[in-house]
Amino acid sequence: MKKLLFITGIVLLGACQTKTDQTETQALGNPFYREWETPFGVPPFDQIKNEHYMPAFNKGMEENLAEIDAIVNNPGEPTFANTIEELERAGKLLTKVQRVFSNLASSNTNPKLQELQRELSPLISAHNDKIRLNEALFKRVETIWQDRENLDLSNEQLKLLEDRRKSFVRSGALLHFEQKTRITEINSQLSELTTAFGQNLLAETNGFELILDEADLDGLSDGIIAAAAETAAQKMEKAETEEEKAKYKDKYVFTPHRSSMYPFLTESNRRDLREQLYKAYVQRGDNDNKTDNKEIAAKIAKLRSERAQLMGYETHAHFVLEERMLKTPSEVYDLLMQLWKPALERAKKEVADMQAVVDAEGHDFKIAGWDWWQYSEKVRKAKYDLDEAALKPYLSLDNVLKGVFETTNKLWGLTFTELFNIKVYHPDARVWEVKDKDGSHLGIFIGDYFTRSNKRGGAWMSSFRGQSNLDGKVRPIVVNVCNFPAPVGDDPALLSFENVTTLFHEFGHAMHGILTDVTYGSMAGTSGPRDFTEFPAQILEHWAGEPEILKSFATHYQTGEVIPGKLIDKLLKASKFNQGFANTEYLAASLLDMDWHTIKAEEEVKDADAFEEASLAKIGLIDEIAPRYRSTYFSHIFAGGYSSGYYSYVHSAVLDSDGFEAFKETGDVFNPGLAAKLRTHVYEKGSTEEAMELYMQFRGRQPKIDALLKVRGLDGSTD
Beta bridge partners of 247: none
Instruction: Please answer whether residues 368 and 275 qualify as being in contact, where contact means their C-beta atoms are separated by less than 8 angstroms.
Output: yes
Q: Which residues contact 268 (CB under 8 A, 6 or more apart)?
A: 217, 218, 219, 220, 274, 374
Residue 209 has what DSSP assignment? -
Instruction: Please answer whether residues 317 and 644 qualify as being in contact, where contact means their C-beta atoms are separated by less than 8 angstroms.
Output: yes
Cα separation of 615 and 630, whole Å?
A: 11
Cα separation of 676 and 663, whole Å?
A: 12
Alpha helices in 133-176 (DSSP H): 135-146, 155-169
Q: Three-state DSSP class for 564?
A: coil
Question: Cβ of 690: how many Cβ atoms within 10 Å?
Answer: 14
Identify the helix (H) or strand (E) that includes residue 665: helix 648-666
- Burial letters 436-453, b for 16+ CB under 10 A, else e: eeeeeebbbbbbbbbbee
Residue 494 has what DSSP assignment? B
Q: State the catalytic residue, choosing from 377, 506, 534, 546.
A: 506
Return the biggest CA–CA distance within the chain: 88
506 part of the active site: yes
| Cα-based distances in Å from 77 to 153, 425, 509 | 17, 46, 40
Cα separation of 311 and 319, whole Å?
A: 8
CA angle 443, 449, 454 (to 5 degrees): 110
Q: Measure the CA dihedral 54/59/60/66, to 10°.
A: 150
Residues that are catalytic: 506
